[in-house]
Structure 1
Amino acid sequence: MAVAPFLWILVPALVALLIGAGLFLGRGGPRDINGRKQFRLRPLRRLVGLLILALAMVSGLLGGSLYQFHRLTTDQPVASISLEQQGERQYLITCQLEGQPPRQFRVQGDQWQIDARVVRWQLPALLAGVPPLYRMDRLSGRYEDPVAEQSQPRTVYPLGDTRAPDLATLKRSFPTWLPFVDVQFGSGAYMPMFDGARYRVFLDPRGALFVRPDGQATTDGLKQRGW
Structure 2
Amino acid sequence: MTTPVQIGWPQLLLFIIAVIGVGLLISSLMGLFKRRREMEIFEDEYGQRYRRWRKHHRELRWKRGTGGILLLVLSISLLWLTFAIQSYLGLTSDIKVAQIEATSFTNAAPQMSVKLTLLDTQGKPTSSQTDLMNGDMWELQCNVLKFPSWMNIFGIHSSFKLTRLEGTYSDPALEANSKHTVVELNGGAGDFFKSVYKQAWTSPFVDAAYGGAVLEPADGHTYDIYMSQTGLYAKPAGK
TM-score (norm 1): 0.53
The CA distance in 1 between the partners of 2:160 and 2:217, in whole Å, is 24
- Contact between 2:168 and 2:180, CA under 8 Å: does it hold in 1? yes
Q: Tell me what 2:114 maps to.
A: 93
Matched, 1:140 2:166: yes
Q: Tell me what 1:111 maps to.
A: 137
Counterpart of 1:97, as a letter, is L
- Once the two structures are TM-superposed, the CA of residue 171 in structure 1 deviates from its matched residue by 3.6
Equivalent in 198, 201, 213 of residue 225 of structure 2: 201
- Contact between 1:198 and 1:215, CA under 8 Å: does it hold in 2? no
Q: Tell me what 1:55 maps to.
A: none
- Contact between 1:91 and 1:107, CA under 8 Å: does it hold in 2? yes
* 1:103–1:183 CA distance, 2 compared to 1 (3 A): farther
- Contact between 2:146 and 2:158, CA under 8 Å: does it hold in 1? yes
The CA distance in 1 between the partners of 2:97 and 2:165, in whole Å, is 13
Q: Tell me what 2:100 maps to.
A: 81
- Once the two structures are TM-superposed, the CA of residue 209 in structure 1 deviates from its matched residue by 1.6
The CA distance in 1 between the partners of 2:201 and 2:168, in whole Å, is 38
Counterpart of 2:192, as a letter, is L
- Contact between 2:113 and 2:131, CA under 8 Å: does it hold in 1? yes
The CA distance in 2 between the partners of 1:147 and 1:192, in whole Å, is 17
The CA distance in 2 between the partners of 1:149 and 1:213, in whole Å, is 25
- Once the two structures are TM-superposed, the CA of residue 168 in structure 1 deviates from its matched residue by 2.7
Equivalent in 165, 178, 181 of residue 152 of structure 1: 178
Q: Tell me what 2:9 maps to.
A: none
Counterpart of 1:207, as a letter, is T
Identity of aligned residues (%): 23
The CA distance in 2 between the partners of 1:178 and 1:156, in whole Å, is 32
Q: Per residue, is there more strand in 1 or in 2?
A: 2
TM-score (norm 2): 0.51
The CA distance in 1 between the partners of 2:201 and 2:177, in whole Å, is 43
Q: Tell me what 2:65 maps to.
A: none
- Contact between 1:82 and 1:94, CA under 8 Å: does it hold in 2? yes
1:35-90 Cα deviation digits (max 9, x unpaired): xxxxxxxxxxxxxxxxxxxxxxxxxxxxxxxx545457711111111124454311
The CA distance in 1 between the partners of 2:214 and 2:158, in whole Å, is 19
Q: Tell me what 1:192 maps to.
A: 217
Other structure's SS at 2:93 match: coil
The CA distance in 2 between the partners of 1:128 and 1:215, in whole Å, is 30
Other structure's SS at 1:116 match: strand
RMSD of aligned residue pairs (Cα, Å): 3.2
State how many pairs are aligned: 147
Counterpart of 1:212, as a letter, is K
The CA distance in 2 between the partners of 1:210 and 1:115, in whole Å, is 11
Structure 1, unaligned runs of 5 or more:
1-66, 217-227
Q: Tell me what 1:31 maps to.
A: none
Counterpart of 2:193, as a letter, is A
Counterpart of 1:93, as a letter, is V
Structure 2, unaligned runs of 5 or more:
7-91, 121-125
- Once the two structures are TM-superposed, the CA of residue 174 in structure 1 deviates from its matched residue by 6.3
Of structures 1 and 2, the larger Rg is shown by 2
